Amino acid sequence: MLPLMKLIRQLGFMRLGLGSAQPEVDHDRLMYLFRNRAELKKAYSGIQDEVQRLKDRVKQQEGATARVQEMLQGLEARLSQPETAYPTLVFYQLRELWAFGLTLLTQFVAELAAQQEERERRAFLADYNRRQFDRRQAIDANLREAEARAAEARDAVADLERRVASLRQLWHYFKRRALRLKLQEASLHSLMCVQELEAARGARATLDAEAPPEFAGLSVEARRAINLATVAYAQIMCDRLAPTQLLEPARVAAGRREPPRDDYGDRQRCDAMMAEIARSRGLLEQRANLSAEIKQLSDRFHELAKYRKDDDTVPVADSLSDTVNGGSRVLNDDMWEVYRALLR
């Protein structure tokens, strides 16, 4: 019986040992499942937020589409009636006239900026090449001097070595010792000359490897000059439209979203206004003596212009509105939406 009891006890211990390892395996698996569950919940929450954001965007787009459809329906209703169709046409032609003025200003600024940037870029590269040429001349001169000193030092060392080698007799002992001291000094000097030569070659290699710097863009003075010329151009366009009495109606129409009902009169008056709008567009497109007029007026504005900071490119509006000296209120009234065309 005793051996049987011992065997039973051993089997019990083995079972306990196997049973104690199983919970550890289950614990690791449970932790792995919990981590996966947390990651899935996080991903699901992110997807839910994205879905809600897309739903909000869809609602916003639906609202915008509904507003556009409502505007189109209103426009169709206006164009379908003779008493409202002609004022609507006048309204949109006035808006187009105002937008055309802004287009002219934008094109003018782009052309001036491109021309001035090309000039400043060429001047920048010319100055860089001039400075690089001066640096190269100095580095090449230093390199030639270093090569000459290194060659002279090598020749001196070689000459002393030949002289030492020629003194082989016993009674040449003291001469050999004196020459060997000179040879040590000459060798040290030659080594220093070689180091200077390597440094000069390194400077030349560094110069050859340098990439040209990037052009930083238009200078503050150039942007100020372009902006003043743009204000002058805007003032000239205002002066050209002043006799037509269309400048203020065009500015008011540009600030509205929908055409008015009775601002432009009956059909006969609307026909006359549309003919005047076409003529006014031709006045804005005229190029005769335009450059001279812009230069004359921009020079006057240059004397009046003041800026809040040294790096500001847009002048203070009130500084140009000096009517005594032929100023302008283009900036005060934002004529032709000139601030959208100016360079910052």
Question: Are residue 110 and residue 155 in the same domain, yes or no?
Answer: no
In a shared domain, residues 141 and 273: no
pLDDT at position 343, please? 94
Return the pLDDT at 78.
Answer: 64
**Lowest mean per-residue pLDDT among 86-95, 161-170, 231-240, 329-338:** 161-170
Cα 295-339-316 angle, rounded to 5 deg: 75
Same domain for 226 and 195: no
313 and 246 in one domain?
yes
Judge if 160 and 267 occupy the same domain: no
Report pLDDT for 314: 94
Spatial contact of 88 and 265, defined as CB atoms under 8 Å apart: no
Radius of gyration of the CA atoms of the chain, in A: 44
Asked if pLDDT for residue 7 goes beyond 90, the answer is: no
Domain of residue 228, residue span: 85-125+218-340
Q: Tokens at residue 56, please?
A: 């909000």
Span 83-105, average pLDDT:
89
SS3 168: coil
Please report where in the chains the tokens 């000296």 appear, as a residue. Answer: 325
For the chain, the domain total comes to 2
Q: Where a domain ends, among 178, 209, 240?
A: 209
Within-domain flag for 74:
no
Does 58 map to a domain?
no
In angstroms, what CA-CA distances link 197 with 148, 153, 203? 9, 12, 10
CA 25 and chain centroid, separation: 59
Per-residue confidence band for 324, with pLDDT thresholds at 50, 70 and 90: low
Reported as a pLDDT band with limits 50, 70 and 90, residue 299 is very high
Q: Quick one: 118 and 157 in the same domain?
A: no
The two structure tokens encoding residue 198? 């390597």
210: left (phi over 0), alpha (psi -120 to 50) or beta: beta
CB 157 within 8 A of CB 184: no
Comparing 269 with 71, the larger pLDDT belongs to 269
pLDDT (tens digit per residue) in 106-160: 999 999 999 999 999 999 999 999 998 998 999 989 989 988 988 888 888 888 8
The upper half-sphere exposure of residue 51, i.e. CA atoms within 13 Å in the direction of its Cβ, equals 6
3-state SS track over 277-338: HHHHHHHHHCCCCHHHHHHHHHHHHHHHCCCCCCCCCCCCHHHHCCCCCCCCCHHHHCHHHH
In a domain, 69, yes or no: no
Q: Are residues 105 and 193 in the same domain?
A: no
Residues 205 and 323 in one domain: no
At residue 2, the pLDDT reads: 58
Q: Which residue has the higher pLDDT, 94 or 74?
A: 94
The answer as to whether 273 is a domain residue is yes
On whether both 235 and 336 belong to a single domain, the answer is: yes
Span 281-293, pLDDT tens digits: 999 999 889 999 9
pLDDT bracket for residue 170 (50, 70, 90): confident
pLDDT given at position 18: 46
Give the domain-ending residue among 150, 180, 209.
209
Final residue belonging to a domain, choices 160, 183, 209: 209
Q: Are residue 262 and residue 302 in the same domain, yes or no?
A: yes
Query: What is d(CA 202, CA 189) in angstroms, rounded to the nearest whole number?
Result: 20
- When pLDDT is averaged across residues 42-56 and rounded to a whole number, the result is 85
Residue 43 lies in a domain: no
103-to-123, 229, 336 alpha-carbon distances in Å: 30, 15, 9
Does some domain include residue 2?
A: no
Q: Which residues contact 4 (CB under 8 A, 6 or more apart)?
A: none
22-31, 299-308, 322-331, range with the lowest pLDDT: 22-31
Give the three-class secondary structure for 341: coil
Q: Using the 8-state DSSP alphabet, how is residue 323 labeled?
A: T
Is 50 inside any structural domain?
no
Task: Please count the helices (runs of H) and the strands (runs of E) in the chain.
Answer: 8, 0
Q: What pLDDT, on a 0 to 100 scale, did the predictor assign at position 181?
A: 87
Given this model, what pLDDT does residue 122 score? 93
Do 94 and 234 fall within a single domain?
A: yes
Looking at the structure, tell me whether residues 328 and 179 fall in a common domain.
Answer: no
Would 27 be classed as within a structural domain?
no
